[in-house]
Amino acid sequence: MKVLVADKISAKGVAWLRKQPGLDVVEAYGSSPAKLLELVKDVHAIAVRSESKITAEVIAAAPLLKVVGRAGVGIDNVDVDAATERGVIVMNTPSGNTIATAELTFTHMLCGARPVPQAAASMRAGQWDRKTFSGIELFKKTLGIVGLGRIGGEVARRAQAFGMRVVAFDPYLAPSRAKTMQIDSVTLDELLAQADYITVHMPLTDDTHYMIDEAALAKCKRGVRLFNCARGGIIKEAALIEALKSGHVAAAGLDVYEEEPLAADSELRKLPNVTLTPHLGASTAEAQDAVGVEVAEQIADVLNGGVIRNAVNMPTLDAATLSALGPYLDLGAKLGTLVQQISPEQVASLRITYWGRVVDLDVNAITRSVLRGWLKRISGDTVNFVNAPFLLERLGVRCEVVKSTGESDYTELVQVEAVGTDGGVRSAAGTLIGKAHSPRIVSINGRAVEVVATGKLLIIENSDEPGMIGYVGTLLGKDRVNIANMSLSRQEPGQTALMVINLDSEPSDAARRELKGHAAIRLAKFVHL
């Protein structure tokens, strides 16, 4: 079987692959898109980093392709949906760069406290300027960590070793977990107000984009120091530049940017109180060796019919079982992400209930798919079918699975319920219909609906009064948003009604604000499936 190494991974990883019997390894670095299409015609596996784009066209041109392995975390250069449709496994290596990124973050923090890069440049210029490069200490200062996942946790441990007090904002972190780590769990506003140093370690999502903007910086202490080795776009660069100029932010360290590579004329390059590195988070010999060998091992396991690890689009299953479970995995993932988006941030437990024929299948695999759907907007690229239960446990969220013998209106039904810390419950249920086994949402928060489980949804709870459907339709029409489908539900006339609308595009911020501001609308939530 042929393995195409399309990007330059660790030499140790390539060497490991070459030692495996039955594998023909081809190295083709820097291939053009046209050349890549030619090379994949007879390959069974592709190993990439971030350079080569494994598009739907590439996948279609590779009839023998079984697996794409990404030596790293991000999979933006792989069309996962196209791979899934073709039955191609996509894997990443989420753990290999944890220590490297944590250490780079701490390096930036130290350079933000003691201006070593600036002092070194001064020395090379023949100067001896001790007064200009005076710094401050980390000892007894407060570090605010935004996002306490794998990397955030490693940064916290290093900060504690330096005698820092650590506070953390992570809306999905259970208080018990923070207590175990000897960290104060706080709100974002509390973190901004208390921290002397702030570092961000969250995936870039709709919720985290520009999380640190002008308003957030205004809540910080004057002289705060800010660092980002996670994803560009979490910190608004224009706001940071102004704060660095004014001195409100005393220093900053960035490894990632809104647009990469960073423009040659970027104002960030001209500021003396910011340290910049060119996305070096995983750029250590150890991290590159780790992800290179890890992706090589994972690819060989798949090709040899072994265990599937760190797959982003399937659980650890053999091919025959996957074929039977595929539609249920898709349904479970969509139910999980739907319920997560309509639930409060603090959730105590998830309850997943199965009825009908699905009970006789491997519901463990479907449960993992539900959890992956739930976590994908929380944990970003790192979540997969293998680590989803662990990540959920780390957040302090319990998971209960019920195989019901009771009756249901459907031949098979899956329901996901999120129980908040206040006891409130948000839920959705779904089934499969037709020969194509298409996923359908048939209940949201206990109300019967009929919703195609794909794309963009607008979920509205409102007082049941005349004119609401016309109001919503007119507002979306003015916003140039087309309605693909609409499902309506109510329990009693004059009480609360539910609208679930499939949309062709996203409403504007202004339209969303107008919806939420309407006196009759209790909930207006835009959801991505």
Beta strand residue intervals within 207-320, DSSP E: 224-228, 249-254, 274-276
The whole-angstrom separation of Cα 232 and Cα 408 is 47
Q: Quick check: is 518 catalytic?
A: no
Longest Cα–Cα distance of the chain, Å, equals 83
The whole-angstrom separation of Cα 166 and Cα 183 is 6
From 453, 456, 451, select the one nearest 500 (Cα to Cα): 451
- Decide: 329 and 46 in contact? Cβ < 8 Å: no
Q: How far apart are the first and last CA of the chain?
A: 36
What number of residues does the chain have? 529
Of 44, 49, 231, 368, the catalytic one is 231
The whole-angstrom separation of Cα 476 and Cα 479 is 5
What DSSP element (H or E) covers 198?
A: strand 197-200
What DSSP element (H or E) covers 27?
A: strand 24-27
The whole-angstrom separation of Cα 36 and Cα 38 is 5
Please write down the long-range contacts of 432-437, taking CB distance under 8 Å and 24 or more positions apart.
432/327, 432/328, 432/331, 437/327
Strands 165-169 and 184-185: parallel
Q: What order of strands is seen across the sheet that includes strand 483-490? A: 483-490, 496-503, 456-463, 521-528
Q: Quick check: is 51 catalytic?
A: no
Of 38, 137, 260, 345, the catalytic one is 260
- Going by the DSSP 8-state scheme, the letter that residue 235 receives in this structure is B
Of 279, 490, 518, 528, the catalytic one is 279
Find the radius of gyration of the CA atoms of the chain. 25
Residue written as tokens 């009839």?
Answer: 63
Q: Quick check: is 279 catalytic?
A: yes
The torsion defined by the Cα of 418, 439, 463 and 516, in degrees rounded to 10, comes to: 80
Q: How many other CB atoms are there within 10 angstroms of residue 233's CB atom?
A: 18
**Which amino acids are annotated catalytic?**
231, 260, 279
